[in-house]
């Protein structure tokens, strides 16, 4: 009986720990990985993504950069990679690049900034989504560089972007740290390029076609 009680207590502690990690990861709602259509992209690095989903990325303290146009599922993949890390017992945090840089830039003292930098440096896996959709000033570039530097060779990062690295100076114009930022981010990293047509456009077209027969029937 005591052994059974001990097992139940251990299982309950594990459940509470998993729930805490899930809340801390801030994943929001997302489609599970088994709904991802691997055959839809014309090009995708399945091996690199399987490594990340399997946990090797986090255990090796390596990075992953997902490069894809809008609508090809890179955010969904990043959320699932973070979710798998949580299930495997790691801490994770998913955050949009704009929200993280706005948070860091809004700190009004060195102590407050240091506290928030530690917040983004702490998780075993940090997923920074949508780098490239907005442009930022040099201070924002310096803050992103600081986050990457604190995690360099210690903790893993997943970055999603719609731009090749050659275009990153346009994201951070007049920032002197862009080259060093890319260098640290891509050292010990997989660069996974996804090419093809947008999933969302496909789904919208399928929805439109599905509605057409009903619309014709209603008109009749």
* Torsion 179-182-187-190 (CA) sign: negative
Q: What is the set of domains in the chain, with CATH numbers?
A: 26-219 (3.40.50.300)
Contact criterion met (CB below 8 Å) for 175 and 138? yes
Q: Is the pTM of this model over 0.75?
A: yes
Tens place of pLDDT for every residue, the chain, 220 residues? 777 777 777 677 788 888 999 999 999 999 999 999 999 999 999 999 999 999 999 999 999 999 999 889 999 999 999 999 999 999 999 999 999 999 999 999 999 999 999 999 999 999 999 999 999 999 999 999 999 999 999 999 999 999 999 999 999 998 899 999 999 999 999 999 999 999 777 666 667 777 776 655 555 4
Q: How far is it, in rounded angstroms, from Cα 62 to Cα 155?
A: 7
């Amino acid at each position: 009986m005591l052994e059974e009680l001990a097992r139940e207590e251990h299982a309950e502690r594990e459940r509470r720990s998993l729930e805490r990690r899930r809340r801390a990861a801030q994943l929001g709602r997302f489609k599970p990985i088994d709904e991802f259509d691997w055959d839809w992209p014309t090009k995708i690095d399945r091996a690199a993504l399987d490594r990340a989903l399997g946990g090797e990325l986090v255990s090796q303290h390596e990075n992953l950069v997902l490069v894809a146009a809008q609508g090809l599922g890179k955010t969904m993949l990043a959320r699932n990679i973070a979710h798998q890390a949580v299930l495997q017992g790691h801490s994770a945090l998913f955050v949009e690049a704009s929200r993280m840089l706005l948070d860091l830039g809004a700190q009004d003292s060195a102590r407050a900034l240091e506290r928030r930098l530690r917040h983004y440096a702490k998780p075993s896996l940090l997923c920074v989504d949508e780098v490239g959709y907005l442009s930022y000033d040099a201070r924002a570039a310096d803050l992103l560089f600081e986050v990457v530097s604190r995690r360099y060779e210690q903790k893993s990062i997943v970055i999603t972007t719609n731009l090749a690295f050659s275009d990153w100076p346009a994201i951070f114009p007049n920032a002197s740290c862009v080259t060093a930022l890319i260098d640290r981010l891509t050292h010990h990293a997989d660069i996974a390029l996804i090419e093809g047509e947008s999933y969302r456009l496909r789904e919208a077209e399928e929805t439109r076609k599905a509605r057409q027969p009903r619309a014709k029937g209603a008109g009749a």
